[in-house]
Structure 1
Amino acid sequence: MAQAKYLIVDLDGTLIREDEVVEGAVELLARYRDRYVIVSNNSTDTADGVVRRLDRLGLRVVSERIVLAGEQTVDFMRQQHPEARILFAGSEALQRYAVERGCLLVKSNADFVVLGLDPEFNYARLCVIVDQLRCGARLVVTNCDVSHPGAEGRLVPETGAVLAAVVAASGVQPVHVTGKPETLLLQEGLRRLGATPDNTVVIGDNPATDAKGAGNLGMRCLLVDSSGRAGAASLSALLRAEDAARAGELAAV
C-alpha cells in the first residue's frame, strides 16, 4: 500500500455491505482521491445508480470511477455483436442501459441470452431462458459470483446462483463471462486510471474473484476481512499499516 500509486477497489464486501459502509471506506477514498477506481461484479445497477446509492451512505464518488460487470457486459455485446438479438435476463436498470446503448432486446428467437442478477428471476423465466438456449442462443454472463456479503453477516445470492440453475436445466455453458476473475473489468479500471499493473494494487475481500483476477494480470492484491486469513482485518487496519510503513520509510532516510 505504501508503494502503490493507484488502487482498484472492490465494492460489495469491501467498501459496503448492502446499506452499511465498511469501517475505513470513507477515509480510504478520501486519501486516494483521484487515484482509485471501484471495480465491481455488480450486475444489477448502473454506475449512476451506484453513485446515488453511495451518496446516500456518505461516500462521494463520480460515475467515471465506477466499473461494473453489468454495464461492461452490455458494452461488450454492443461492440462485439452489434446486430445481435438479445434476450436480457437482468434488472430493469440494465435493460434500459442496453436499449440506450443500441442493443436489440427480444423475447424470442434470440441470438444470445445475457444473464445478470435478475431480481424477477422465477421458474417461468428459467423456462424461457432454457428454451432459447436449447434453440441455439449463446449464453453470455455478467459474473459467476454465487453470493456477496450483506449486512450483519448475511449472504446475498448473486448471478452465479441463477447461472447454476440455467446450466443445470439447459446443459449450456457460457461463451463469455465479464466479471472478475476474468480480466476485462480490471483492464478497464487500469485504462481509466492511466495506470499499469505494476503501480496498482487491488483491494478486495474475495480470493476467488479479487485476488485471482489480480493474479491473472500480474497485479498485487490485498484482501480485507475479519476472518484472520486476509491481509488486514478492516480498511481502517489497512490504512494504519500504510501509515506505519510510510513512517518507517521516513525514519530510515
Structure 2
Amino acid sequence: MQNSILQTQFVLSPPAAPVERRGAVDLHLPSRAGSHPAVVVVHGVPLPPGVGDPREWPIYRGYGAFLAEQGVVAALPSLPVETPADLPVAAEQLRAAVEQVRADPRVDPDRLVLWFFSGSGLLLGDWLRDPPSWLCGLAATYPLLAPLPGWVVDARFRPVDALDAAADIPPLVLTRAGRDRPEVVAATDAFMAVATRRGTPVRLVDVPDGRHGFDMLDHTEQSRDAVRTARDAVLTMLSADRSRS
C-alpha cells in the first residue's frame, strides 16, 4: 500500500516549491518574500496501515506546489489517525496546526482557507458550526460528509447535521467525483440538499467520470480541469470580502 501511494503521481506537474518542515506541519512556500494568504491542506483520514506520512505523498506535495505557485503558503499538517475513534485527537491537532500556521510571519493570519480531502471531510463540522472571523472559506474534495456504515463517531463529526444547524456559514467549495463509492455520493447529495434548502451557496465542481482520488488516479483533462477550477475557487475566497450575512 505504501509503495502504491508513493508512486501514484498528482495529475498536474507544478514546479516544486521550497518546503520547510516545522514539527507536524510542512510549509510549501511561494518564491517571493512577504506576507501571504494560506491554505491548510488536510489529508484523508483514517490512514490505512503502512502508508507512511501523507506529507510525503506525491498528491499532497503536488497540491502544496500547485498553491505555492500562485503566491499562497500551503500548509500540510500530519494527522496520524488510524481509526474513526481518533477523530477528536485529529480535530485538536488540526486546530493546533492552524494556529501554528497563522503565527508564521510569512502568513497573513486573516487570510486562510481549510481544504479537506476524503475522510478528513468529517472534520468540517467544527468549522461549519463556529467559523472564526479570519476564516475565508472551506473547500472539500471527494469528502466524506457522513460516517461510513459501522463507524461510531461523535455527533460533531457529522457535517451534514452541522450545516443544517450552522448560523454563520463560510463560503464553501465542494468537488464531487461522479464515480465515488455510493456511501460518499449519498452523503454529498444529503449535504447539497441541506445547502439548497437553506439557500447556502456552494461552489460545486463536478468530475463526472472521476473516481475517489481522481486527482491521482485519473490522469485526464477532466481531472486536471477540476483541480484547477477548485484551486481558482479557493484563490477567489482568499481575495474576497470576508463579511458574511
State the TM-score, normalizing by the size of structure 2. Answer: 0.32
Q: Which has the higher contact order (CA 8 A, sep 6+)?
A: 1
Max radius of gyration: which structure?
1
State the TM-score, normalizing by the size of structure 1. Answer: 0.31
